[in-house]
Amino acid sequence: MKFSLKSSLKGFEQLTQALRGIKGNSYAKAGLLGANNARDDSTAGNVEIGLVHEFGSEVNNIPARPFVSAAFKKNLPAYKETLREYVRAIYAGKMTPAKALGLIGLRMAADMKLYVTEGPHIPPPLQPETVARKGSDRPLVDTGRMVDSIAHEVVLGGRSQSE
């Protein structure tokens, strides 16, 4: 007995073709990735300072003020819905996986920046002497260098697209 199978799934071939080019691990990442890491006034770079703020430092009496994980958690439902839309667009041949990952990475980085600069004040509140020194009661924003260094990166098939 002979038979043949014909696919009638619209867009399946475009999706298959788009995914063939991606072998290995592919993802978007956002946060303090090492870009713009240097600081003039400190031996610690923006990545190190961000880590101290995210997790705190008992040695330096600095409380944890998570901004990367909190922003991601807050926006995760929206990211999932956006990714569903992007998969539909890839399936329809209207978007590449690289573009979809680039857009979601850009959005994650923007959401982190907004969370720090315009979102709810990240607890605990600053000490009165810190507010007096910097002239603001908003945690994590002093000069703006750390927030400005939040970026995104796309990795396709295990290779950074910025290489």
Tokens of 97: 């996986």
90 within a domain of the structure (yes/no): yes
Assess if residue 6 is contained within a domain. no
8 in any annotated domain: no
Distance in angstroms (rounded) separating the CA atoms of residues 36 and 44 = 12
Distance, in Å, from the CA atom of 128 to the CA atom of 43, rounded to the nearest integer, reads 26
**138 occurs within a structural domain:** yes
Give the mean pLDDT per block of 10 residues along the chain (163 residues): 56 64 80 69 79 93 94 96 92 88 97 94 90 91 89 89 67
Output the CA torsion sign for 58, 63, 64, 67: negative
**pLDDT number for residue 22:** 65
Number of domains in the chain: 1
Give domain status of residue 117, yes or no: yes
Domain limits at 69? 26-160
Residue 72, domain member (yes or no): yes
Helix extents (H) in the chain: 12-20, 46-55, 68-91, 97-117, 128-134, 145-148
Q: Is residue 118 a part of any domain in this protein?
A: yes
